[in-house]
Amino acid sequence: MKKFLVIRRDNIGDLVCTTPLIHALRERFPDARIDALVNSYNRPVLAGNPDLDNVYAYTKAKHREDHETVLGVHWRRARLMLELRRLQYDYVILANCGFLMRPLNLARWVGPQNIVGFVPPGKKVPAINIPVIIDKVARHEVENVFRLLEPIGITGTPPALQVRATPEETAAALQALGITRDEANRSLLVAIHISARKIPQRWPAERFAMLMRELNEKWNCRFILLWSPGDENNPLHPGDDGKAASIMAAISDLPVLAYPTTQLGALIGALSICKAMVCSDGGAMHVGAGLGLPTLSFFGNSDASTWYPWGVPREVLQKPRRHVDDISVDDAAEAFSRLKQRAGF
């Protein structure tokens, strides 16, 4: 039996964009042991993933809990690496679209027979004995990372993203909304995610409110308003409590559930009961696409051709100045209308 370990230790959206690779690996090797090594921050992306036998996670020092010490975090990571080393993997796949030393160092600790990873042209990395040469061809992130499967005989178009909500996460969202799953299925429930890490990706609160009002008037939409909680002035973990409060005040007469998500699992659960999603580019957008949601996304200064929501009906809005301030409510409403027609929801 072959044993594979897929390592992806970075952001939420990056890990979501790696799930097609994992699914294709399972289809090609149905009897293999396929595990993933991720970090504690992005681990919920893989909760319930049927293509994986095990998901191992370590905590980055910057993500440690208040009661955890840096020394303790590193000690637990070392113990995990030794545990993985004993499993004697045939392949470790460094699932990131470039050459990065930190994932490679983790792979060295694991000590597999083979390491598959990207290598810059003209450079030899002795530890990566199955190299995939980095090129300058424009591709989606999903397509880029999928190239790592070529040396083991897997090619073609990557499948859809894969994200699963746990029953508990879905039940919590339904309870907060005060409806059953059947009622959610019968209604046009739209997820509105208002948070974005980069300033050029942050669509103004008043436009979200105006768009929600228009969608409610035209199609009787109901909404779940989602955001990262906290104070926008917090230098370490800025949140959007103020922005959410402004929106809720402007649409107090509409059917909307305010649902801040402190945990990734809560976001996945809320999105799992929706019919469509409106958001800026970011991790939440990819999570929604992984759940199969038709998506209207606003792009600022990120590359839409690399990061658009993969494998779902989509409308992507990006203006020449590459700032979401240039996207009007009319632009968004017209795009949502096209999305609704295309997806048939």
pLDDT of 321 reads 95
Which of 57-71, 79-93, 272-286, 309-323 is least confident?
57-71
Residues 133 and 236 reside in one and the same domain: no
Residues 66 and 205 reside in one and the same domain: no
Give the C-alpha separation, 30 to 46, whole Å: 18
Residues 210 and 121 reside in one and the same domain: no
Domain-ending residue, one of 113, 129, 152 = 152
pLDDT of 153 reads 95
* Residue 122 burial (C-beta neighbours within 10 Å; 0-12, 13-18, 19+): exposed
Residues 73 and 212 reside in one and the same domain: no
- Average pLDDT on 199-227 reads 97
Question: Mean pLDDT in the chain?
Answer: 93
Residues 144 and 261 reside in one and the same domain: no
Residues 209 and 144 reside in one and the same domain: no
Alpha-carbon torsion angle 171, 174, 176, 177, nearest 10:
180
Residues 180 and 313 reside in one and the same domain: yes
290, 16 Cβ separation under 8 angstroms:
yes
Residue type, 118: F
Q: Could you tell me if residue 242 is inside a domain?
A: yes
Residues 299 and 325 reside in one and the same domain: yes
Residues 207 and 295 reside in one and the same domain: yes
Domain-ending residue, one of 93, 117, 152 = 152
Residues 325 and 176 reside in one and the same domain: yes
Give the C-alpha separation, 309 to 332, whole Å: 16
pLDDT of 99 reads 92
Tokens of 214: 């228009």
193, 278 Cβ separation under 8 angstroms:
yes
pLDDT of 68 reads 61
Query: In this predicted model, what pLDDT tens digit does every residue of 231-253 receive, in sequence order?
Result: 777 665 678 999 999 999 999 99
Q: Could you tell me the CATH number of the domain that includes residue 218?
A: 3.40.50.2000
In sequence order, the 6+-apart residues with CB closer than 8 A to the CB of 233 are none
Query: In this predicted model, what pLDDT tens digit does every residue of 253-270 receive, in sequence order?
Result: 999 999 999 899 999 999
Q: Could you tell me if residue 287 is inside a domain?
A: yes
Query: In this predicted model, what pLDDT tens digit does every residue of 62-116 receive, in sequence order?
Result: 555 556 666 666 678 888 989 999 999 999 999 998 999 999 999 999 999 999 9
Query: In this predicted model, what pLDDT tens digit does every residue of 122-138 receive, in sequence order?
Result: 999 999 999 999 999 99
Residues 176 and 139 reside in one and the same domain: no
Q: Could you tell me if residue 157 is inside a domain?
A: no
pTM for the structure as a whole: 0.93
Q: Could you tell me if residue 214 is inside a domain?
A: yes
Residues 202 and 274 reside in one and the same domain: yes
pLDDT of 75 reads 79
Q: How many domains does the chain have?
A: 2
Q: In Å, what is the CA distance from 10 to each residue of 13, 54, 194, 341?
A: 9, 18, 22, 35
Q: What domain range is 9 assigned to?
A: 3-152
For residue 121, pLDDT over 80 is answered with yes
SS3 138: coil
Q: Could you tell me if residue 130 is inside a domain?
A: yes
Listed in order, strand segments (DSSP E) in the chain are 3-7, 33-39, 54-58, 91-94, 114-119, 130-133, 189-193, 222-227, 256-260, 276-280, 295-299, 314-318
Domain-ending residue, one of 152, 187, 210 = 152
Q: Could you tell me if residue 159 is inside a domain?
A: no
Q: Could you tell me if residue 173 is inside a domain?
A: yes
Which residue in this structure is represented by tokens 């801040």?
260
Q: Which residue has the higher pLDDT, 84 or 41?
A: 84
Q: Could you tell me if residue 196 is inside a domain?
A: yes
